[in-house]
């Protein structure tokens, strides 16, 4: 039997990790068709199916789960060994994969990522935006970017010195039709766009003014699980929304949205970059982390 290549083994791991051939193909920089053919060839060589495929989903077979249990740790060990070798390079190169909330990606792209790429042209950065709080190790990322309160306790955090703030906003048409709330309790008599968090719970709106703190499970006829869709609903005057300030600055500047109760939304936790505590880091990772610690506001 022909031996399986490392590329084929990594392909199986990517599909199992991402849950779809399409997402895994993007991660591996190849077409979905090519990835499907690669896995089919490996399954033919092994004489077993590793995945159950339908038009809507992909799941591991019993043989596939055994593959993950036996081959997964070995591949991780090989990757650790390769990282150890790469760490001896003096000049940063290779790939850094970053997972960030959409608003966080916008805040780091200019002051940090583009500056880093100008300084180290041999490095590639794969920046994936995701509203979910993902397990960056399980999903193959090197670095995550979230507000400090969302950084997992087992990760090493690097504060980026970028305080965050919520913004309560509504479309002018909504305010003309239903009036303007002036304090948090007023929201109980308004239509709000509710957002469901990845764990299934509803996001509770938090307000603070002086020593007074208010947390509300706001009412609303529309519940969504994606903030970009919620923003569209607010722009369409369906209801009032709560977003990270960075996400709606352009809408406020162009008067598409109106900010409400600004005195009730002081700055909150700052943005952090975080990563697992690995002993061997590539030269690219060391350089990126070093630049992050220097501060993201300085431009070259």
- pLDDT tens across 221-272, in order? 999 988 889 999 999 999 999 998 988 999 999 999 999 999 999 888 788 9
User: Residue 32 is encoded by which pair of tokens?
Assistant: 């979905």
User: Residue 209 is encoded by which pair of tokens?
Assistant: 């003014």
CATH 1.10.10.10 in the chain is located at 6-86
Does the structure show a pLDDT above 70 at 168? yes
Does the structure show a pLDDT above 50 at 210? yes
What is the distance between the alpha carbons of residues 295 and 241, in angstroms, rounded to a whole number? 32
Does the structure show a pLDDT above 50 at 135? yes
What is the distance between the alpha carbons of residues 111 and 113, in angstroms, rounded to a whole number? 7
What is the distance between the alpha carbons of residues 174 and 239, in angstroms, rounded to a whole number? 7
pLDDT of residue 297: 39
CATH 3.40.190.290 in the chain is located at 166-264
Asked if residue 123 lies in contact with residue 93, where contact means CB atoms within 8 angstroms, the answer is yes
User: Across the chain, what does the average pLDDT equal?
Assistant: 85
CATH 3.40.190.10 in the chain is located at 94-162+270-294
pLDDT of residue 186: 96
Quickly state the pLDDT bin for 190 (edges 50, 70, 90).
very high
Regarding predicted confidence, which is higher, 165 or 133? 165
Average pLDDT over residues 81-110: 78
**Pick from 10-19, 46-55, 74-83: least confident:** 74-83
Largest Cα–Cα distance of the chain, in whole Å? 73
Of 239, 282, 284, the residue nearest 257 (C-alpha): 239
CATH for 94-162+270-294? 3.40.190.10
What is the distance between the alpha carbons of residues 135 and 99, in angstroms, rounded to a whole number? 10
- Residue 159, number of CB atoms within 10 A of its CB: 16
Quickly state the pLDDT bin for 216 (edges 50, 70, 90).
very high
Residue where the block lists tokens 């722009």: 235
The fold of 6-86 is Arc Repressor Mutant, subunit A (1.10.10)
Query: CA dist 298 to 146, 160, 295, Å?
Result: 21, 12, 6
Look at the alpha carbons of 72, 77, 78, 84 in this order and tell me if their dihedral is positive or negative: positive
Instruction: Name residues whose C-beta falls within 8 Å of residue 237's C-beta, 6 or more positions apart in sequence.
Output: 170, 171, 173, 174, 177
User: Residue 33 is encoded by which pair of tokens?
Assistant: 């068709």
Output DSSP code: residue 149: G
Of 141, 176, 147, 177, the residue nearest 161 (C-alpha): 147
Quickly state the pLDDT bin for 300 (edges 50, 70, 90).
very low
Q: Is CATH 3.40.190.290 the right assignment for the domain spanning 166-264?
A: yes
Considering 32-46, 66-80, 163-177, the range whose residues carry the highest mean pLDDT is 163-177
């Amino acid at each position: 039997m022909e031996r399986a290549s490392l590329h084929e083994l990594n392909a199986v791991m990517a599909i199992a990790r991402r849950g779809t051939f399409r997402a895994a193909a993007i991660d591996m920089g190849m077409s979905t068709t090519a990835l499907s053919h690669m896995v089919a060839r490996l399954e033919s060589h092994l004489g077993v199916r590793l995945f159950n495929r339908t038009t809507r989903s992909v799941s591991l077979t019993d043989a596939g789960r055994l593959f993950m249990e036996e081959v997964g740790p070995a591949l991780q060990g090989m990757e650790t060994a390769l990282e150890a070798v790469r760490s001896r390079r003096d000049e940063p190169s290779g790939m850094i994969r970053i997972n960030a909330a959409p608003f966080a990606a916008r805040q780091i792209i200019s002051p940090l990522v583009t500056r880093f790429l100008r300084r180290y042209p041999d490095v590639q950065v794969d920046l994936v935006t995701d509203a979910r709080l993902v397990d960056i190790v399980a999903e193959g990322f090197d670095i995550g970017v979230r507000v400090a309160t969302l950084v997992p306790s087992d990760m090493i955090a690097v504060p980026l010195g970028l305080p965050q703030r919520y913004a309560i906003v509504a479309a002018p048409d909504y305010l003309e039709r239903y009036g303007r709330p002036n304090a948090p309790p007023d929201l109980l008599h308004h239509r709000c766009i509710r957002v469901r968090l990845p764990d299934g719970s509803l996001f509770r709106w938090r307000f603070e003014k002086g020593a007074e703190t208010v947390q509300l499970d706001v009412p609303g006829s529309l519940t969504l699980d994606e903030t970009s869709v919620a923003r569209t609903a607010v722009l369409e005057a369906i209801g009032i929304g709560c977003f990270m300030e960075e996400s709606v600055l352009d809408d406020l500047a162009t008067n598409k949205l109106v900010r409400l109760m600004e005195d009730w939304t002081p700055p909150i936790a700052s943005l952090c970059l975080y990563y697992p505590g690995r002993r061997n880091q590539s030269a690219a990772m060391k350089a990126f982390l070093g630049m992050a610690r220097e501060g993201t506001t300085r431009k070259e």
